[in-house]
Amino acid sequence: MSGITQFKTAHMRYIFVWGFTMLFLAPIFGQGGIDMDSLENLYTQGIADSQELIEVVEELANHHPDAHKKVFYSDILLDLAATNEDPLTLYTGYFRKGNALLELNEYSEALSSFFKGAEMAIEEERNDLLGKIQIPIADVYSLMGNHENAVSYYNEAIALLRKTNDSVSLASALLNAGDEYSKKDKFDAALALFDESGVIFERINFRLGTAYNIGNMGMINAKKGNNELAQTQIQEAIGILEEYEDYSPISEYLTYMADIYADKQDLERALIYAHTSLELATKYEMRDEISMAHDKLSEIYELDGNTEASFKHYKDHIKVRDSLVNLEAVRSAEAERTNYEVAQKQAQVDLLNEQGRTQRIMVLATIIGLVLVGLLAIGLFRRNRFIQKTNQVINTEKERSESLLLNILPKETAKELKEEGRVKAKKFLSVSVLFTDFENFTRYAEALPPEKLVESVDFYYSKFDAIMEKYGLEKIKTIGDAYMAAAGLPFPMQDHAVRMVKAALEITEFVKTAKENEGDEDVRFNIRVGINSGPVVAGVVGTRKFAYDIWGDTVNVAARMESMSEPGQINISEDTYALVKDHFECEYRGEFSAKNRGKLKMYYVSNPSAKAADKEATTISASANK
């Protein structure tokens, strides 16, 4: 068995424990969860309730896609726990930090964090928590190649968890221990543990655990030469994993099978599995798995004597591996820019707070002046001068604050916020929502320097903003390379759909012209546009860093219109078509299946004002005949 495959199976194992097991420990936000961007926005806006703050930070430390951010939020969670003298939250903080460090391959630091968490569990006399944290401790030793320590901690974890009601953690410990024995070719011991963990997963109907269990049994049977049984089990595991769209372990299982058959000199079947793994990883843009699949194909082709194909896949492996490093640099630059924008908006809101503090100072100064007026005439004179200067400061700060607030919120919304102290969510019965997205943006992000990428995005968004202002439309937000706008709010308008299509036509024409005039130093994209019309709910989220946003099924369908459009096209829904068909020539595309929506009728906008132009031509012809 090659070294790469041994690493991959261990990697898959510890992700299972501290990813899925921890989902059962503290599901904070109920059904569906909350995406990480929303949680980060909630955190940066400020949370007054200490318990809610802890829950948000813990969720970020557990599920943020960036491992470095997980470490960052874990440290914040530890600080909050220390401040509140909360030993259980302190335990959780060490657990989360250890997981993040493990993901970064910082084994020594991960162990240190896990051992601190174990100490907290011992102090609190919580054997259930001690058993949980001994699983990742054993995982680290397994990854470090220390089989003896790994087995020792797995056995301790199993012994402790047998005395609890935590079936998921017990089954996970049994599964991981079985993997460890499998690495040492102790197949009977491994299968015995898998049998027990499989029974538990089936009893609690934890199908994801069942999939890993069956898949690992299949890998053992492949090692033992039971190829038909192994194939059946791995295919069953893959079938379950596909239900959960958990494609990373599927790709790794396929690569593992390729390695098994390569060891058996069945290179034809090994190539089939390796190519299938590469196709799956490529389809779902899993760059780590793409790199591993190319590396495995290079090894197999080398064994097959096909040096040309081996060298090609090795070059692809190196290329993908290097692109991962470059993409991380881009993400880092984007994160820095985001932090800067957050800081700018915070400064704007702080100006509003400063206005209130200045007014309080003025009132206090006025009271003091009234007391002194009867004592000294000079006191009255000085008081009047102070009031005049203070009013000047207040008026200046008020004008600046209002100007800055209008850059964040629509005018009427900003007015309501100032007068009422909050903004009520409003339902708009008919608006049009637009989404745009650049084609192949991720590929460009991997290859471009961060400064050049940001410069290119700003080039487009500046023009988009100007077009929205021209037609009286409302820009809602940008999400990476996606741009979102709405027509028909905060003030209802009868022709919102027509205005939005006109704006979309200008956007596509601008993007097309920019692409045609692309210089050697420029980076230009193609764009997809989607529009849908219907009711939405609009309001302001946050209490310090305000953000105007819209929600509803209309928004979701608009996003589907964009994702199912094509470069250079404006894809509109049936509802939008009904509002603009007398103004624009549209091409019916047919009905398409959209995720979670069933079949939707879609149209491409062909030519602006085609019907109006035909009518005008007819009138001119008639006049000429007269």
Phi and psi, residue 251, nearest 5°? -60, -40
**pLDDT confidence bin for 597, thresholds 50/70/90:** confident
Residue 380 has pLDDT above 70, yes or no: no
Task: Evaluate if residue 63 carries a pLDDT over 90.
Answer: no
Q: Is this prediction's pTM over 0.85?
A: no
**Backbone φ, ψ for residue 34 (5° rounding):** -130, 135
Using 50, 70 and 90 to split pLDDT, how confident is the model at 594? confident
Q: In whole angstroms, give the CA distance from residue 137 to residue 141.
A: 7
Most confident listed range (226-235, 334-343, 605-614): 226-235
Q: What is the mean pLDDT of the chain?
A: 79
- The neighbour count for residue 465, using CB atoms within 10 Å, is 14
Residue 234 has pLDDT above 90, yes or no: no
Share of the chain above pLDDT 90, in %: 38
Tens of pLDDT, residue by residue over 482-537, are 899 999 988 889 999 999 999 999 999 999 998 888 776 777 889 999 999 999 98
- Note whether 340 and 454 are within 8 A (CB): no
Tens-place pLDDT, residues 200-228? 999 999 988 899 899 888 888 877 878 78
Q: Give the start-end residues of each E strand in 298-390.
A: none
Residue 466 has a pLDDT of 93
Average pLDDT over residues 128-142: 94
Structure tokens at 275: 């190519």
Nearest to 532 by CA among 472, 478, 597: 597
Helices marked H in 105-183: 107-123, 127-143, 147-161, 167-183
By the 10 Å C-beta count (0-12 exposed, 13-18 middle, 19+ buried), 295 is classed as buried
Return d(Cα 150, Cα 9) in angstroms, integer.
15
**pLDDT tens track for 536-561:** 988 876 555 567 788 889 999 998 99
Q: What is the mean pLDDT of residues 573-585?
A: 94
**For the chain, first and last CA: distance in Å?**
91
Give the C-alpha distances (Å, rounded to integers) separating 151 from 188, 217, 338, 357: 15, 19, 45, 63
Residue 386 and residue 369 in contact, taking contact as beta carbons nearer than 8 Å: yes
Local confidence band at 253 (pLDDT 50, 70, 90 cut-offs): confident
Cα dihedral 61/67/68/74 (nearest 10): 20
Evaluate if residue 107 carries a pLDDT over 80: yes
Distance CA 353, CA 460 (A): 34
What's residue 156's pLDDT?
Answer: 95
Burial 113-129, CB ≥16 within 10 A → b, else e: bbebbbebbeeeebeeb
Look at residue 48 in the predicted model and tell me its pLDDT: 80
Q: What is the pLDDT of residues 287-320, one digit of tens each?
A: 778 888 899 898 999 999 998 888 898 888 888 7
pLDDT at residue 27 tops 70: no
Q: Are 416 and 423 in contact (CB under 8 A)?
A: yes
Structure tokens at 96: 């989360």
